[in-house]
Amino acid sequence: MSKRWFITGGTPGGFGVAFAEAALDTGDRVVLTSRQPHELATWAEHYGDRVLVVAMDVTDAAQVLAAVREAEEHYGGIDVLVNNAGRGWYGSIEGMNETAIRAMFELNFFAVLSVTRAVLPGMRARGNGWIVNVSSVGGLLAAVGFGYYSATKYAIEAITDALRQEVADYGVSVLAVEPGAFRTNAYAGFAGEPVAEAIPDYHDMLEQVRTAFVDMNGVQPGDPHRGARAVIAAMAQDPPPHRLVLGNSGYEAVVDTLVQNLDDIRSSEALSRGADFPA
């Protein structure tokens, strides 16, 4: 039977559209949400009634509830939720603007909770469903200049792991997806905005970060369509994985980091074990 998908963060050239096209290629139906739905009108026409584009700002709780209700009424339910909407930006831990920090958490973390909590009741009632949370390689390792972005994605990793256990008995599966550098429009905004940093000492470091992303824009190694198809393949595995890192460089970086972390933890094993009351 065809599945009914609800995908957030639909922008031309982005991962949301790649997920939608991968699902449509398998014969499924898709609700794709966007803050600018008119940008997807021509694209959606090609798929007829198998696609519904819905206006939704994921940070607006009322819009989230209305969009989920519209999707459920239109297709009769939601089988797969892809929490794809999000954005990354750079700044030092000490100097990044607090308003920008909170806005990034609202978009990357709290909005994911809002959409998930709106969709879950229907999945639990039917006894099946999939929740795919798009995290990042940055959710498994923190990068200089991207500490707050990584913090939002580390938080996604935590709730994904907890949620997986909480809803397993209700037939709902949960997957975290960690893309590395993929050729989407995610880096496009870095070129036009200079470094905004309150503390001059960090300016050079952040300028290097910004330049690296500008130089990588358009030549990222990751293919969003291959990545989306990999997610669908992972969902079909028995048992499915708990997380899926996407991209060669991302995979290598995550594995290296986890090995280093394990070595670091084991190096202080005696101190760790000695912190309990004596037996």
Question: Which residues form the catalytic set?
Answer: 135, 149, 153
Exposed, middle or buried by CB within 10 Å (0-12, 13-18, 19+), for 96?
Answer: buried
Q: Is the peptide bond before 239 cis (omega within 30 degrees of 0)?
A: yes
Residues 6+ apart with CB under 8 A from 240: 173, 175, 234
Q: How many CB atoms lie within 10 A of CB 254?
A: 19
Residue 198: Cβ within 10 Å count: 13
Q: Is the dihedral of CA 226, 231, 232, 233 positive or negative?
A: positive
Distance CA 113, CA 135 (A): 13
Nearest Cα residue to 133 out of 105, 106, 102, 161: 161
C-alpha 106/C-alpha 102 separation (Å) is 6
Give 80's strand partners: 5, 130
Do residues 54 and 75 make contact, with C-beta atoms less than 8 angstroms apart? no
- Please provide residue 131's backbone torsions phi and psi, each rounded to the nearest 5 degrees: -120, 120
Query: Which parts of 45-183 are beta strand (E)?
Result: 51-55, 80-83, 129-134, 172-179
Residues 6+ apart with CB under 8 A from 14: 84, 184, 185, 186, 224
